[in-house]
Amino acid sequence: MILIILNLFAPARSHALEQRLTIDDVLGLYQEKVQQRLKPRFDFADVDWPPEKVALVAFKDTRLLELWAYTAGRWQHIKDYRVKGMSGTRGPKLREGDYQVPEGSYGIELLNPNSAYHLSLKLDYPNAYDRQQAEQDGRVDLGGDIFIHGGRSSKGCLALGDRAAEELFIMAAMIGEQNVSVLITPRDFRFRPQLPVADNLPAWTGELNTRISSHLRRFPLADKRSW
């Protein structure tokens, strides 16, 4: 009799476990809450909500991620997020399993509403520059599945906590992943000089830092406002 009762309940439990959220489901759950949290910040920065496009600028050394929105032909700072979990050291990601957070300029490839870390945004790593340098170095198996996600721990990704993940996920879903860019840098080159290339890093890391520094000029420190 006990076996029969367990079997009767097993299909229902299995069906529940197979239920998966869609992006529309997540919008229904969090869009209003996120708007209540973020719209005052956009109003303060004199930027329309939802924004036309946004940029996420992450600094490895200080574990900070800046949110910028594009308006009237320029980028305006909106707010900062604390990176609560990441792995690796300064320097680009080179291969699968090195647990390095990549460095460079990336787009958002997809949104995952069923992430093991609440919600997540997948970066398009490796990008064209990563692949080009790997080919020159003779490296293969560059790795992948690099996300910005919720939670507080990560191996090769950026964990921002669930609340931040909700905000970034909802914005990306509202304006389209193609309108979200991500810049990851070892340090803030806007006021700190470039790093010498360490012996354990590829020689082209200096060139990569120069490219990152050039991208950073779009986000001037003078435009950061206090909240």
User: Starting at the edge strand that comes first in sequence, how are the strands of the sheet with 147-149 ordered?
Assistant: 74-82, 64-71, 54-59, 180-185, 104-115, 118-123, 147-149, 158-159
- In the prediction, which pLDDT does 1 show? 46
Question: Model pTM greater than 0.85?
Answer: yes
The residue from 15, 77, 118, 157 that is catalytic is 157
Round the average pLDDT of the chain to a whole number and report it. 91
- In the prediction, which pLDDT does 155 show? 92
**149 part of the active site:** yes
- In the prediction, which pLDDT does 5 show? 42
Other C-beta atoms within 10 Å of 189: how many? 19
The residue from 15, 77, 149, 215 that is catalytic is 149
- In the prediction, which pLDDT does 88 show? 93
Query: Which DSSP string do the residues of the chain spell out, in sequence order?
Result: -HHHHHHHHHHHHHHHHH----HHHHHHHHHHHHHHHHHHHHHHTT--SS-S-EEEEEETTTTEEEEEEEETTEEEEEEEEE--B--S-SS---STTS-PPP-EEEEEEEEEEEETTEEEEEE--S-HHHHHHHHHHT--------EEESSS--SSSEE--HHHHHHHHHHHHHH-GGGEEEEEESS-TTTSPPPPPPTTS-TTHHHHHHHHHHHHTTS-GGG----
- In the prediction, which pLDDT does 13 show? 43
- In the prediction, which pLDDT does 221 show? 82
Window from 45-49, 90-94, 219-223 with minimum mean pLDDT: 219-223
Reported confidence tier of residue 225, pLDDT bands at 50, 70, 90: low
Cβ-contact 184, 106 below 8 angstroms: yes
Interval 63-84: pLDDT, tens: 999 999 999 999 999 999 999 9
Percent of the chain with pLDDT over 90: 84
What CATH number should be reported for the domain whose range is 20-223?
Answer: 2.40.440.10
Average pLDDT of the segment spanning 147-160: 96
User: Does 215 score more than 80 pLDDT?
Assistant: yes
User: Does 172 score more than 70 pLDDT?
Assistant: yes
- In the prediction, which pLDDT does 197 show? 80
Interval 186-206: pLDDT, tens: 999 998 877 778 888 999 999
User: Does 3 score more than 50 pLDDT?
Assistant: no
